[in-house]
Amino acid sequence: MTNEFQTHLSEEALNDLLIGMGSAEAEQHLAGCAQCRARVELFHSDLKLLDETSMAWSRVRAASMADGAAATTSRRLSLATMGWAATGVALLALAVPVWRNVNRHADQTPTASTPPAAVAAEDSEAQIAADNQLLREIDAVVNSHEASPFGEPLRTDRPRARHKVQPE
């Protein structure tokens, strides 16, 4: 037996005993020392109070967990249903303006019966017709100047003004 145990157990030795790592000497001292035994018993008494109370609390809390879990599941299901409903409404709210927009553009854009290529062809034919008309008018004007094939080229009928410039 060391000097440490000739009086009482040190804090360290007592702690080691409480956690199950006490030396044989400490165990031997404890068996013969009422004061050290009282310290150990005090700790065990406090621990017992905490153990019993906390376990009783935990049992009640654990029992209420089942109800809580059911309520949570129910709440989650309700939230999920509400979520899907809200999503549906949101999609509808988005779909209506989009559908309207598509229809409005449909009035201004080619339909299935008049594909864009055909429309382009129509535009092209009209343009060609207009161009041809212009060419015909030009031909008519040009032909009117062909009365005398012997005339000077590029000569017009308009008499050329020949004025003598008077000196001032």
Partner 1 sequence: MGAYMSTEAMDTFPLGSLESPIMEQARPATELDDIDGLVRTYRARILRFVTYSTGDPDLAETVTQDTLLRAYRGRESFRGDCSVSTWLTGIALNVMRDHMRSARFKFWRQVHSSALDVQEMASFLPGSESSAERRLLAKEKLARLQQVLKDLSPNQRTVFAMKFFEELPVNEISAMLHMPVNTVRTHLHRALNAVRARMGESQ
Note the residues at the interface with partner 1 (CB under 8 A).
11-12, 15-16, 18-21, 39, 42-43, 46-47, 49-63, 65, 68-69
Measured CA to CA in angstroms, residue 75 lies from 79, 86, 99 at distances of 6, 16, 36
Least distance in Å: CB of 45 to partner 1?
9
What minimum distance in Å lies between the beta carbon of 80 and partner 1? 18
Q: Minimal distance in Å, beta carbon 68 to partner 1?
A: 7
Which CB sits closer to partner 1, 59 or 145? 59
- What are the angstrom distances between the C-alpha of 134 and each of 53, 78, 128, 139, 143? 108, 76, 10, 9, 14
Question: Which lies closer to partner 1 via its Cβ, residue 4 or residue 16?
Answer: 16
85 in helix, strand or coil? helix
CA end-to-end span of the chain, whole Å?
Answer: 153
Nearer CB in complex with partner 1: 5/22: 22
Q: For the CB of residue 72, give the shortest distance to partner 1 in the complex, in Å.
A: 10
Computed from CA positions of residues 135, 138, 143, 146, in that sequence, does the dihedral angle turn out positive or negative?
negative
Helix (H) or strand (E) segment spanning residue 81: helix 34-108
Report the residue number, 49 or 85, with the smaller CB distance to partner 1. 49
